[in-house]
Amino acid sequence: MNQEQAIIIGAGPCGLAAAIELQAAGINALIIEKRNIVHSISQYPVYMHFFSSPQLLEIGGVPFTTANDKPSRLEALNYYRTVALRHEVRVNAYETVTGVSKLADGSYELTSYDRRGEAKIYRTPTVIIATGYFDHPNKLGIPGEDLEKVSHFFREAHPYTGMDVAIIGGSNSAIDAALELERVAARVTVVYRGSQYSSSIKPWVKPNFESLVNKGRIAMRFDSRVTAIEQGSVTVTGPSGEEQLPNDFVLALTGFHPDRAFLTAIGVTIEEEGYPTFNDETMETNIPGIYLAGVVASRREANEIFIESGRFHGRKIAAHLREQLSTETSYAKQGN
């Protein structure tokens, strides 16, 4: 049995930021992460650059320096790894939490297993859930979605050279993937349910993409959906009806969502709108001692909370825990 002052589930930027804020409040938190530190960023496209400036990605009071206007994926991995090591954040990587249950004294028991399959048990008064969303892609619900050629992630273009690739989606991730694929001579069709280009597309990227579409080097299908996937083709339904396109690979870049099932399993209620119940000022859920940090606290879209805002959730949690500790100390003195 391991006794901890606080346990954070998830070692993304927001989980790391929360651990550092708790350190400053005198609470030595343990992070349990089922993969590696900032796993979500390691899943980003290899050559991706962030939309945010480095200052908006900083945590733990450590400057994020880069020679570019926007930091790269590689720079971000190095930065967050360095911050975690510099602050000596305790991280149990490749360990999966399987359950959280409340004990009679109001504390919590966490069960988990590590990469060797060894079971572990922890007790703590405070649990912070910072689990992110990259393990839960938004599924299409269509025939063939589970074929091996379908992926919800785009890492790099090289493997798709000379292939027929359908990209589902119209966000920045879809547009960036299409541009990279076109450069390696993939035959790209972007299938987007919107009637025109998304307003969220980065303004310096959109003109180049539109130019390639106008020249016929990237095929664009507006007001359309992929309704079936087969080994050698995809069926696209649009304004002109159904069409079958030759296809080798499908990139379903339709976004991700937080794991609400894990929250409900431990008793966190879900509002009618579909988001978890929590206090905006403290990040505490309807269950005392259970807090949220990062994208798991999103109310509508997963991308409404990212590093820029989620990195401050730990500060709210630390302030609330500090206040509780002060109140308990005051009551103890009065009792004496």
Closest CA to 130 of 14, 41, 40: 14
What does the pLDDT read at residue 275? Answer: 83
CATH 3.50.50.60 spans which residues of the chain?
Answer: 2-136+256-335, 150-252
For the segment 108-123, the average pLDDT, to the nearest whole number, is: 95
Average pLDDT over residues 188-210: 92
**Average pLDDT of the segment spanning 102-130:** 95
How do residues 162-178 score in pLDDT, each as one tens digit? Answer: 999 999 999 889 999 99
Global confidence as pTM = 0.85
Kindly state the average pLDDT of the residues 265-283. Answer: 89
Q: How far apart are CA 205 and CA 224, in angstroms?
A: 22
Q: What is the pLDDT of residue 216?
A: 96
Contact of 228 with 235, CB cutoff 8 Å = yes
pLDDT score at 57: 92
Mean pLDDT over each residue of the chain, to the nearest integer: 90
Residue pLDDT, tens place only, 37-92: 999 899 888 888 887 888 989 999 999 999 888 899 999 999 999 999 999 999 99
With CA atoms as reference, report the closest residue to 301 among 269, 260, 252, 256. 256
Which pLDDT score, from 0 to 100, does residue 305 have? 45
pLDDT at 331: 47
β-sheet bridge partners, residue 122: 2, 110
Residue 300 pLDDT: 58
- CATH placement of domain 2-136+256-335: 3.50.50.60
Distance CA 280, CA 264 (A): 19
How high is the pLDDT of residue 50? 86
Higher pLDDT, residue 147 or 330: 147
Residue appearing with tokens 């990209």: 167
State what percent of residues in the chain have pLDDT above 70. Answer: 94
Residue 133 has pLDDT above 80, yes or no: no
How confident is the model at residue 200, as a pLDDT?
A: 83
Q: How confident is the model at residue 288, as a pLDDT?
A: 94
pLDDT of 304 over the 50 cut: no
- Name the residue with tokens 């996937």: 229
Question: 150-252 sits in which CATH class?
Answer: alpha beta
Amino acid at 107: S
Q: Quick one: pLDDT at residue 336?
A: 55
Q: What is the mean pLDDT of residues 309-319?
A: 91
In this prediction, residue 296 has a pLDDT band, given cuts at 50, 70 and 90, of confident
CA 216/CA 239 separation, integer angstroms: 19
Please report the pLDDT score of residue 303 as a whole number.
47
